[in-house]
Amino acid sequence: MSDESGFATRAIHAGQEADATTGAVVPPIYQVSTYKQDGIGGFRSGYEYSRSANPTRTALEECFASLERGERGFAFASGLAGQDTVLRALLQPGDHVVVPSDAYGGTYRLFNKVLRPWGLEHSIARIADVDAVRAAIRPGRTRMVWVETPTNPLLGIADIEALAAVAHDAGALLVVDNTFASAYLQQPLALGADIVTHSTTKYSGGHSDVVGGAVVVGRDITVPGLEDAVDRVAFHQNSMGAVAGPFDSWLVLRGLKTLAVRMEKHCDNAERVVDFLVGHPAVSAVHYPGLPDHPGHQVAARQMRRFGGMISFQLRAGEDVAVKVCAETSLWTLGESLGGVESLIEHPARMTHASVAGTELEVPADLVRLSVGIEDADDLVADLGQALDRLG
């Protein structure tokens, strides 16, 4: 395996040499807190204490760095823990951040309810609109532009390359939450972003059995005063301590091995479900970047390998019916989260995005969000069809 190897090869092998003593082909779960020193400071392979570093976590961090083609990867106890660490490592009270008008509710809550009282100011901009982002920048004070693409739950698309130029012109970092696309479908660092974050709870883990986060810092950060981003994130990861445990790291590593094949199937199935929804009389709008009339279609086609497994749609009959549809499917499980092998359905306004009600990030009440799994597409379409036909 080399740095030039393809994505699936790196997902299976990067950071995962066969175990030196036993030859185990999968990195063992080093369920351990501390390490014997051969004399004071005589660390074997550098391991001292598992908050600072643990071999199973190191394997995951190296794999993520390789997949996103970054300088270094960091694994956290959750996606939000990774985001919090990035924000507090690289920014300070008095700094300003531009945040997206459509974003994961918990990310916005972190900005609005945790980091604003800490002294971090933010402005909200529609990140599909490059000029709106440029206008939201406060010269000299904006140190970061935060982007999610595709966005949650409306599947908006941000032009990563254009926003990187806008951020860098202003002396700010571009951070991309790559959770919805996954490292397989989109590589923000190659498009000019400085840092990538993931909720590995979603596609990276992929089996709805682990909560985790990852951060990858890019190779050549040139934003003045933040060139040492790798060291700062490393220092804060250890100092704040929200690290991924050994078993959680192992689960995410195991998930990554099949990310490429899973994502292809998620995309195949999503395309089938979109075809069905677009033709259904109960549906007033379908949000999917693969649709030619989606406002971000051209940009998505340029910066994504395919268009992903997330879809949202609106019901002609309004909120009550949207809520009922979510309750009337049987194969589609009503639940939060996304990116697992099993298909999920949810009502963002009352579930994942309840925390942004009454803010500028409020989502339409007639919206239903689908995380399309990798079951048989015919079964998924049939189950959604019976619910829509009955209620729509």
Ligand X SMILES: *Cc1c(COP(=O)(O)O)cnc(C)c1O
Q: Active-site positions?
A: 51, 104, 177, 202
* Smaller CB separation from ligand X, 50 or 352: 352
The whole-angstrom separation of Cα 321 and Cα 317 is 6
106 is a contact residue toward ligand X (CB under 6 A): yes
Pairing of the two strands 72-76 and 333-334:
unpaired
> How near is the Cβ of 220 to ligand X at its closest, in Å?
25
* Residue 335 near ligand X by CB under 6 A: no
127, HSE (Cβ side, Cα atoms, 13 Å): 34
When asked if residue 202 is in the footprint of ligand X (CB under 6 A), the reply is yes
Among 107, 186, 249, 312, which residue sits at the site for ligand X (rule: CB under 6 A)?
107
Q: Mark 76-95 with x for binding to ligand X (rule: CB under 6 A) and - for no binding.
A: --xxx---------------
CB of 362 to ligand X, least distance (A): 17
DSSP classification of residue 154:
T
How many angstroms separate the CA atoms of 390 and 31, rounded? 51
Q: Does residue 208 bind ligand X (CB under 6 A)?
A: no
How close are the terminal C-alpha atoms of the chain, in Å?
52
Q: State whether residue 244 is helix, strand or coil.
A: coil
Assess contact for 213 and 80: CB atoms under 8 A. Answer: yes
Build a one-symbol-per-residue string for 40-79: x at contacts with ligand X by CB under 6 A, - elsewhere. Answer: --------------------------------------xx
User: According to CB under 6 A, which residues from 224 to 263 bind ligand X?
Assistant: none
Structure tokens at 330: 């049987």
343 binds ligand X (CB under 6 A): no
Q: Of residues 62, 148, 159, 328, which one binds ligand X by CB under 6 A? A: 148
Write the Ramachandran bin of 171: left for phi over 0, alpha for psi from -120 to 50, otherwise beta. Answer: left
Cβ-in-10-Å burial (0-12, 13-18, 19+) of 370 comes to buried
Coil/strand/helix, residue 369: strand
Kindly state whether residue 266 participates in binding ligand X, applying the rule CB under 6 A: no
The residue ranges of DSSP E strands in 318-365, in sequence order, are 333-334, 344-346
Q: How far is the CB of 103 from ligand X (least distance, A)?
A: 7
Nearer to ligand X, 106 or 335 (CB): 106
Q: How many residues bind ligand X (CB under 6 A)?
A: 16
Residue 237 near residue 229 (C-beta atoms within 8 A): no
Nearest approach in angstroms of CB 376 to ligand X is 25
Supply the minimum distance, in Å, between the C-beta of residue 65 and ligand X. Answer: 19
Footprint on this chain of ligand X (rule: CB under 6 A): 78-80, 104, 106-107, 148, 152, 177, 179-180, 199, 201-202, 211, 213
